Structure 1
Amino acid sequence: MKINFRVVAGSLAATLALASCAKEPVDLPFGTVQQMMANEVQPTADIYWGAVGSASELVDGQPVFREWQPETDAEWQAVAASAAKLRDLANTMGSPAYAEGRDAGWTDFTEGMAEAATRAEQAAQSKDADAVFEAGGTLYAVCSACHQAFPPEAGIPGEPVDMTPDQ
């Protein structure tokens, strides 16, 4: 059996030429936006949102009101760190890799999230429970508005939607 090496070499060259014309893979360090939300943003936001609060419940038929907030420096630092991580995640979501295929509103929302997270971090660093609660509300409002404009289940055309958190 004779192999025509010119044909093989030509086919290989054509294949490599086509591959080099293909779009470079996009660097998505946290996977798709939906994966980033499920695996990074939501758990981090839950730390911040759960740090300060109050609840009323019935205990033996009597209403019991309780409030909570961080007590130790380490607990306050964990809350501040969660806000700082949210800011970093917002900046990542605003990067060209994650903004590709989305309109300019996407960048506005990621900038708004970063600003709200910065204020949230400052509130935690000041160990002011009321300010943490208020900053958490602002952060929640920004996130909710973004989710209305960019429904999580919609993604962007051609982007796989996987909202399952990593285990």
Structure 2
Amino acid sequence: MKPDIVILALLPLALAACSGPAPDLPYGPPQQLMAAHVEPYAQTYWQSVKFESELMPDGTVENREYEPDSDAEWEEVRAAAAHLREMSDVLESPAYAEGRGPAWMTYAAGLGEAALAAEQAAQARDPDAVFTAGGNLYNVCRACHQTYPPAELEAEGGTVDDVPQG
């Protein structure tokens, strides 16, 4: 075999070796991470403090306020915010940030900042602060989803059923 043919034959192997392995995505593709970790904990937080009005059949309006009643419920809210903060670190990792541009890092950091404030509000057991922090979390999530639509992240592979839990 001629030397230049050998070089051409080995070129794909050399390029593959230089590019390194695909990044490890410990929670699966971004859509899976969101479905299994970010969204459920965000929902836990958002549902912890809320105000609802319902129009009753007799025409009156019934107003209801919800907030945690026990130490365990407040701890669940705090833990949900702490988990969101941890997920922001995962989203900022090279495995998840690679190739997504600087906006990804901005939103991931924004999630971390909003989650830290949410955790502090829950720790203080301040329903008004929890409500406000929940709105801030929502705004970060919505802004990110406008730039990175969930359907596009889902196209990267995997299904929600493939999500590693934990």
Q: TM-score range by the shorter chain?
A: 0.7 to 0.9
Residues 115-166 of structure 1, C-alpha deviation per residue, up to 9 Å, x if partnerless? 000000000000000000000000100110011111111139x832635685
Q: What is the TM-score when the length of structure 2 is the normalising length?
A: 0.82
Code of the residue aligned with 1:133 in structure 2: it is F
Q: Report the more deviating stretch, 45-54 or 25-34.
A: 25-34
Residues 75-129 of structure 1, C-alpha deviation per residue, up to 9 Å, x if partnerless? 1011000000000001101100000110011001100000000000000000000
Code of the residue aligned with 1:40 in structure 2: it is H
Partner of 1:38: 35
Question: Could you tell me the percent identity over the aligned residues?
Answer: 47
Structure with the higher fraction of residues in helix conformation: 2
The answer to whether the 8 A contact 1:39-1:165 is kept is no
Partner of 1:107: 105
Distance 1:82 1:66 in 2: 23
Code of the residue aligned with 1:140 in structure 2: it is Y
1:165/1:48 Cα in 2 relative to 1: closer, same or farther (>3 Å)? farther
Distance 2:19 2:95 in 1: 16
The answer to whether the 8 A contact 2:74-2:122 is kept is yes
Partner of 1:125: 123
Residues 32-88 of structure 1, C-alpha deviation per residue, up to 9 Å, x if partnerless? 000011111111100000000011113452321110100111110110000000000
1:78/1:165 Cα in 2 relative to 1: closer, same or farther (>3 Å)? farther
Distance 2:103 2:18 in 1: 30
The answer to whether the 8 A contact 2:28-2:158 is kept is no
Greater relative contact order, per chain length (Cα 8 Å cut-off, separation 6+): 2
Which runs of no fewer than 5 residues in structure 2 stay unpaired? 1-9
1:154/1:23 Cα in 2 relative to 1: closer, same or farther (>3 Å)? same
The answer to whether the 8 A contact 1:38-1:164 is kept is no
Partner of 1:23: 20
**Pairing 1:15-164 to 2, within 5 Å after superposition:** 20=17, 23-61=20-58, 62-155=60-153, 159-160=156-157, 162-163=159-160
Q: What is the TM-score when the length of structure 1 is the normalising length?
A: 0.82
The answer to whether the 8 A contact 1:54-1:67 is kept is yes
**What CA RMSD, in Å, does the superposition of the two structures yield over aligned residues?**
2.3
SS of 1:116's equivalent in the other structure is helix
Give aligned pairs, total: 151
Distance 1:165 1:159 in 2: 13
Distance 1:22 1:108 in 2: 26
Structure 1 consecutive aligned stretches of length 4 or more whose deviation exceeds 6 Å: none
